[in-house]
Amino acid sequence: MIENTLIGLIPLTTLIFSFTMPILHYVVKGSRRVIELTSLIASLIPLIMSIELVKLAFSTDEIIVYRFGGWPPPVGIVYMLDKLNSLLVFTTTFLMFLITIYSNKYLAEDKSLAWYYTLYFGLETGLLGVLLTGDVFNLFVMIEVTSVASYSLVMFYRHRGDSIASGLKYAFIGSLGTTIYFFALGLIYATFGTFNYFDLTAKTHGYTYPYSGQPIGDVLFTTGIVLVLITWTFTIKAGVFPNHFWLPDAHPAAPTPISAILSGLVVNVGAYAMFRYIYTIYGGNLLNIELNNIVNIVSNILLNIGLISAIIGSILMNFQRDVKRIIAYSTVMHLGYLFMCIGARNNYGIESFILHIINHSIAKATLFLSTGVFIYTTGSRLLEKLGGLASKHILATLATILSALNLAGIPPLPIFYSKLLLFYATFDISIAYGIKIILTSAIALIAYVKIIYTLIFGRIYVTDLKKTPLAMNITLLSLLIVMILITFGINIIIADFIEKTALQISSIENYMLKP
């Protein structure tokens, strides 16, 4: 394995800025200009570092690690870098940078900007930690960091009852999920004697490692219980059926930039963690047939709850008046697709997962931020109150149209291809899954078209509009350009990034520690 300290530095950087913000606030006596400039620097540095991580990950087929304190795995905590998390780290830091630009002007009248960024960069630290960790206990820690920051940001508008109520609901159910995961960790350590991804992967495939030895418990029993527990936890974190009920309340209650992060990035935590368990720790040919059968049963459960989530999300999108709730239910649907990718447990599932999680993050952030412009200028989240505003906000309208059609899976936009890969992934299991993917997309398209139609042809309710700040338009223009570039370069992206990443993940030997 190759070692590189940059892997450990990137979450440390955002953590330092998170702790620095309150101190800076007092030093500069609340100067907005200094806070805004610092926030841009704080989000730009991780973005530059993430570009280097992508270059590093795609320069080799080996897994790259950073050993905390110099301790070798599995004795010490390690961070790992492969092609998958390098792409997701880049996507995360890129969106966080653009949303920082947007946030500075969206919250121009708020006096708590320094405290906002304290939580904001704490949230980014947690997200990066989840993606880079090579230790299932450290995954728990980083999920908690992400969650605590998320709960607080949902309740950022502390003078509003809906923000407090939604945030408390989110915090309660989220804390229950992490507690359940903590129980699962106890079982993992009692049976396998390790928390390290590589060591766990080796043990589930019949290898042992000198430091931690052989499993000392019943691997079959532990695997069955652990997979049930983590499924419950990660469906909560991802907002997937049957634990989706907190999401449509929490995401609209937050400030629009945070809604974009919650729906575009934070929910990825649950999907990514579930993916690591199914495709890394329990991927490939396992220790014995019985263990493989247990994982197949759980994978089938994931496939079906993902499908139910997609159905529920697509239907309920069409019954909302609040535009942010429409988009929130769209997240329930798309995270359902991601869980179907995981449940398919084949190469097409891997490719679909990688392509879809990236494209969904970009498109969903764009849709929240573009509709956020209308909310900012009108002061209303009700869809009918946004009627006829297309001619007043041309760029925001274009961003809304393109991101909505992308999320609906209209060709040749990128999400069409990830849905097509998901169709292939489920085709060998049952053609019924593919048909239902098409049906849910069609149902969701009605809701997306309703948003577009209202913006263009709806009755004008609000005439006294606030001017859209230039920084918010720059953010939308950047995201529009990115979606267009991905659309025209989709074949290159699939060939040079997605397929290579899927090949590395499916080569399970890469993720094993051997004597």
Q: Could you tell me the pTM of the whole model?
A: 0.94
Question: Which stretches of 114-246 are assigned E, i.e. beta strand?
Answer: none
What average pLDDT score do residues 111-129 get? 93
Lowest mean pLDDT among 307-321, 367-381, 389-403, 461-475: 461-475
372 has pLDDT over 70? yes
- pLDDT tens digits, 151-187: 999 999 888 888 899 899 999 999 999 999 999 999 9
Asked if residues 328 and 317 have their Cβ atoms less than 8 Å apart, the reply is no
Average pLDDT, the chain: 92
pLDDT tens, 247-302? 998 888 889 999 999 999 999 999 999 999 999 999 888 888 999 999 999 999 99
Tally the C-alpha atoms within 13 A of residue 479's C-alpha that lie toward its C-beta: 40
pLDDT over 70 (residue 514): no
Q: Poorest-confidence range of 312-326, 463-477, 489-503?
A: 463-477
> Looking at residue 190, what is its pLDDT?
92
User: Locate tokens 């790992």: which residue?
Assistant: 80
Q: What mean pLDDT is predicted for residues 335-364?
A: 95
- Mean pLDDT score, 442-446: 96
Name which of 186-200, 249-263, 329-343, 461-475 the model is least confident about. 461-475
CB 439 within 8 A of CB 423: no
Q: Is pLDDT above 60 for 193?
A: yes
* pLDDT, greater one: 512 or 133: 133
Residue 459 identity (one-letter amino acid): R
More confident: 512 or 347: 347
Contacts of 58 (CB under 8 A, 6+ apart): 83, 86, 497, 500
Mean pLDDT on 420-437: 92
Dist CA 191 CA 203 (whole Å): 10
Which pLDDT value is given to residue 515?
Answer: 45
Q: Are 62 and 83 in contact (CB under 8 A)?
A: no
